[in-house]
Amino acid sequence: MTSLQHPDSVAIIETRVAHDIHRAASALLVDAAQRPTVPCALLADLRGFLVENLRHHHETEDHDLWPLLLESAPETAAELERLSDQHERLETALDALAGVPIDDETDGASARAELRAAAAEVRETVLHHLEHEEPVLLPALGAHMESEVWDAFAMRVVTTSPTVAAHLMVGFIQEVASEREAELLFSRLPEPVQDLLPSMREQAAADLRSLRGAEREA
């Protein structure tokens, strides 16, 4: 027997946490890009994490989640199409961000200014998009998404997730999610990944401190 989601459901929690990670990661890249003390390698890791995870997120929505919602809620078709149109605009911003050189040879004030500008465009596009998506998507998940269908979708998302700077995902989850939500999300990871969580937490904490310039406080 199937069951629909409720306001505190796994589907809504996982979606909201993913969106909050996108907000946090895009804002951090804008801030870190202007810090001359942040190593290029860390900026490249964060940029790669943000670009690849945002692409993966909106592609799985367009190709997998939207068709699932349309099966049970065809009346959402026009709204979901508008959201997919916004995904195309986000992809343009992501392409620009991905094209900014980040290496020791191009490091400098002008290069970091270019990175910051491209990251700011992604951040603003993400914020604008989520302002439109969440009022549509979260209620639709609660009203129309069966828990078993969501679990199958979520498993496909996890198994195809990008591996670029994957430890940052662990760090951001711990920052944006409640303790109970983080435990829930980590419990749904494959066992081999769960075994790596302690080391991933440690690496993420160190990298996030450096990205925020906190190493100077040590």
According to the model, what pLDDT value does residue 217 have?
43
According to the model, what pLDDT value does residue 71 have?
93
The domain spans of the chain are: 10-162
Q: For residue 26, how far is the Cα from the chain centroid?
A: 9
For 178-200, the pLDDT digits (tens) are: 999 999 999 999 888 999 999 99
How far is 169 from 20, CA to CA, in rounded Å? 11
Q: How many residues in the chain?
A: 218
Enclosing H/E stretch for 74: none
How far is 187 from 201, CA to CA, in rounded Å? 15
CATH fold group of domain 10-162: Four Helix Bundle (Hemerythrin (Met), subunit A) (1.20.120)
According to the model, what pLDDT value does residue 105 have?
67
* pTM of this structure: 0.92
Confidence of residue 111 (pLDDT cuts 50, 70, 90): confident
